[in-house]
Amino acid sequence: MMNFSTEDIKTMIGQMIMVGLRGTSTEDAKSFFDSMTGFAIGGVILYDENVTTSPSSPHNIRSPEQVKSFNASLQSFSPTPLLIGVDQEGGQVNRLKGEYGFPHSKSWAEIGQLNDVTETQSHSKYMAATLSDHGFNLNFAPVLDLSINPKSFIAKKDRCFSSDPKNVSVHSEIFMKAHLNENVVPVCKHFPGQGSAGGDTHEGIVDVTKTWSETELIPYQTLINHDCIPAIMTSHLFHKQMDSKLPATLSSKVLNGLLRDKMGFNGAIISDDPQMGAIANHYDLKTIVRLMIHAGVDIFCFGNNLVYDPDIVQKVHTNILNLLNEGAIGVQQIEQSYNRIMQLKKSIGLL
């Protein structure tokens, strides 16, 4: 496999894995890394609620002091600095809640109703500073989905800024710059646009063939042209005109063909959670990983909070190594993603 040792390859594979974990303390962080001896990771994602239990139970984020200490511990046990991500859109998708002692944050829809650049600037700056102060360096926001279908899973939770792609673009750029000023990576989502979707990809396949329109690409194209998007998260949507067989996260036509080649995006592509029903109910892990690599996904974000698999990191490593040995993927694909991820980490001063 070219000029790389097995250890080099395992290091590169590790950077492609972002994973959810259980725990809240330094001891939990240590036992998490101890459980993965010999297997690297590039990032973690934290949640405030564990939804694998019924009812949901407290998870990684309990208070400002606790999570700051937990994030510092996670960094201290990782040989390569971690991307520590969180879904902090504001409103209902808000992991740093007021009830835990964090400042209140408005929803993206509330900010959109105000449609005031000064308000967006101060809101974004405050949010980014809060994240940075508590050890987070990646935020799965802003949402670029347009508010097209009021019954969509996204719109119903006040996650869409506006139906106007120009407004979404202007305010998302302000949001992203505020984050990057605090060395927090903003991740635009959910490509190629989930605003018209009726269903929820957490549950199963959502077909937008009849509802999606090219307007939904405008915020992405505008911001790519402005060279201000460091990372984009994929959607698990299915659109048969884009790809007659595969949902966007697994589709080379959507990610390599449309996003990279046609739209000119050269930043990091991060998958939405492959443990969601739209993917996990239809493909085994080896197939998911193979298709994501061929599609051009750089970081696989296994939230481990829809189902919990304590061995997911080892399983992903093993599957990728097997795919390399079988010739089903090429080491240059791994190297390319590794280089993008290292560049992303350098851009926020992690390396």
Answer yes or no: is 1 within a domain.
no
pLDDT of residue 205: 75
The residue among 144, 51, 153, 31 whose CA lies nearest residue 95 is 51
Q: Are 212 and 240 in contact (CB under 8 A)?
A: no
More confident residue, 203 or 73: 73
Answer yes or no: is 285 within a domain.
yes
* Token pair 């903003």 in the structure block, residue: 186
Indicate the pLDDT class of residue 44, thresholds 50, 70 and 90.
very high
- Token couple for 245: 């067989």
The residue among 198, 184, 143, 180 whose CA lies nearest residue 165 is 143
What domain range is 36 assigned to?
Answer: 6-347
The residue among 13, 5, 7 whose CA lies nearest residue 335 is 13
**Ordered strands of the 43-45 beta sheet:** 268-270, 231-234, 185-191, 138-139, 83-86, 43-45, 17-20, 300-302
The predicted-structure confidence for 159-207, as pLDDT tens digits, reads as follows: 999 999 999 999 999 999 999 999 999 999 999 999 999 877 677 678 9
Answer yes or no: is 143 within a domain.
yes
The predicted-structure confidence for 76-127, as pLDDT tens digits, reads as follows: 999 999 999 999 999 999 999 999 999 999 999 999 999 999 999 999 999 9
Q: Are 215 and 208 in contact (CB under 8 A)?
A: no
* Contact residues for 186 (Cβ-Cβ < 8 A; gap 6+): 139, 141, 142, 175, 176, 179, 180, 229, 230, 231
Answer yes or no: is 52 within a domain.
yes
Q: How far is CA 256 from CA 24, 263, 273, in A?
A: 38, 10, 19
- Entry pTM: 0.97
Q: Which helix (H) or strand (E) holds 121?
A: helix 117-133
pLDDT of residue 2: 57
Answer yes or no: is 276 within a domain.
yes
Least-confidence region, from 25-34, 219-228, 275-284: 275-284
Q: Is 129 helix (H, G, I), strand (E, B) or coil?
A: helix
Answer yes or no: is 181 within a domain.
yes
If you average pLDDT over residues 314-341, what whole number do you get? 97
pLDDT of residue 201: 66
Write the DSSP symbol of residue 80: S
pLDDT of residue 43: 98
Q: Are 299 and 268 in contact (CB under 8 A)?
A: yes
The predicted-structure confidence for 191-203, as pLDDT tens digits, reads as follows: 999 999 987 767 7
Q: Are 34 and 78 in contact (CB under 8 A)?
A: no
Mean pLDDT of the chain: 96
Answer yes or no: is 53 within a domain.
yes
The residue among 237, 247, 342 whose CA lies nearest residue 298 is 342
pLDDT of residue 1: 47
Decide if pLDDT at 47 tops 70. Answer: yes
pLDDT of residue 152: 86
pLDDT of residue 277: 86
More confident residue, 28 or 206: 28
Q: How far is CA 25 from CA 20, 76, 101, 266, 349, in A?
A: 15, 13, 18, 37, 25
Residue 41 is part of a domain; what is its CATH number? 3.20.20.300
How many domains does the structure of the chain reveal?
Answer: 1
Answer yes or no: is 187 within a domain.
yes
Q: Are 94 and 49 in contact (CB under 8 A)?
A: no
Indicate the pLDDT class of residue 338, thresholds 50, 70 and 90.
very high
